[in-house]
Amino acid sequence: MELTITQPDDWHLHLRDGSLLQAVLPHSAKQFGRAIVMPNLKPPITTTSAAVAYRESILKAIPKDSNFNPLMTLYLTDMTTPDEIKLAKKSGLVYGVKLYPAGATTNSQDGVTDIFGNCFSVLEEMAEKNLPLLVHGEVTNSNIDIFDREKVFIETILEPLVQRLPQLKVVMEHITTADAVKFVESCKEGYVAATVTPQHLLLNRNALFQSGLQPHNYCLPVLKREIHRQAIVSAVTSGSKRFFLGTDSAPHDRRNKECSCGCAGIYNSPVALSLYAKVFEEAGALDKLEAFTSFNGPDFYGLPRNKLKIRLRKAPWKVPDYLSFPFGDIVPMFAGETLEWEALPC
C-alpha cells in the first residue's frame, strides 16, 4: 500500500541550537515543508531581532537539497511590549507568540506569571495584528495534581481569555485531555485550534512505568489516562479542521534523559509521519490523514498549502536504538521497534 499526500508541515517543533540543532534539523527538513519553531532556548527568543538571528542559524544548518522553511516565534514574558509585537508582525518572519506559564516545562523559567495582569495589552496588539498566541496549557501551581493541570488551565485561563478577547487566534499546543478536545470544539472555528503529537495519540501514562521507569516516554504535558488518548484520537481522525500536526519533537542528549532528574521531551521527528499514519490506519481514517498533516495547519495560519508531495509506503522498518553524534546519543521515540509505514520523497 502507498499513499501520496501533500508535503506536511510541523506546527510545533523544538530545534534547539548549536550542535544539537545541526544534528536534529535534517530529520525534520527531510519530511516537512515548514515548521513553527519553539523559542525556549537559553536565553529565550524574546525579541524580533533574536528571532531573525535564530532563523539565520537554522537556515545555515538546512541540508542543501531541502526546501524547509522555519517559521519563527517569540517567547512571551511579563516584560513583552505591544511595540515588540508590531516589530514581529512587520518582520514577516514571526508567525506566533508562545505562552509558557513560568516553570511549566523545559526552559520556561522566564515565562509569564500573570497573563491578565502583565500581558493583556500585548494580547490585544496580537489580536489586532492577527498574530496567534501559542499556548502551553498547564497551570504551574504545585498544589494542582500534574494530571489535572491542563484541565485547570482551561477553566481558569483559556476560557476567560477567549471570552475577553474573542478575536485573538489561539493554538492550544500538544493537547492531552478530553477536556482540551471539548474546549477546542466549543470555540469558534478559525480562532481556536490545537496541535496534536504522536505520543499523545499512541501512548497513555502506563507507558511511563512499563517494566520500570521509562524516561524516553516522559514529556510535558505528561501522558494521561487511556480515556483521554481515545478522545484525542477520535477528534483528529474525525476530519475536524480544528486539529493539526504538531510533533513537539524535543531532543535531549541521552545522558540528560537517563539520569536522576531527567529532562522532559520525546524526540519523534524521525518517526512522526510513520506514527501518524499508524493512528489513522487503525482508526479506518487514512482518507483524512492528509487534511490533518498538510491542510488544517496552513489554513488556520492563513498560509498557502505546500505544492510538493511525499509518499507514505507501507513497508516495515526498524527504528534505531539510538542516534549517535559527536556530543552524545539521542534516543528516538519507539527506539528498537518495527514500524509499518515509512515516509519517502516523491
The phi, psi pair for 154, rounded to 5°, reads -60, -45
288 catalytic? Reply is no
CA distances to 92, 249, 274, 295 from 143, rounded to whole Å, are 41, 28, 38, 40
Catalytic residue among 9, 10, 14, 151: 14
60 catalytic? Reply is no
136 catalytic? Reply is yes
Among positive and negative, which fits the CA dihedral 272, 277, 280, 281?
A: negative
3-class DSSP state of 151:
helix
The pairing of strands 309-318 and 338-345 is antiparallel
174 catalytic? Reply is yes
Catalytic residue among 27, 30, 98, 224: 98
Catalytic residue among 248, 253, 257, 278: 248
Place of cell 508582525: 89
- The angle at the Cα of 31, spanning 307 to 74, to the nearest 5 degrees, equals 90
Catalytic residue among 10, 12, 110, 253: 12
- Identify which of 280, 307, 283, 312 has the alpha carbon closest to the alpha carbon of residue 295: 307
329 catalytic? Reply is no
Catalytic residue among 136, 151, 216, 257: 136
Peptide bond into 43 cis (omega under 30): yes
- Identify which of 113, 168, 161, 164 has the alpha carbon closest to the alpha carbon of residue 139: 113
- Identify which of 245, 278, 269, 247 has the alpha carbon closest to the alpha carbon of residue 332: 269
Evaluate whether 196 touches 244 at the Cβ level (below 8 Å). yes
Catalytic residue among 27, 30, 151, 174: 174
248 catalytic? Reply is yes
Distance CA 160, CA 66 (A): 42
Provide the annotated active-site residues: 12, 14, 98, 136, 174, 248
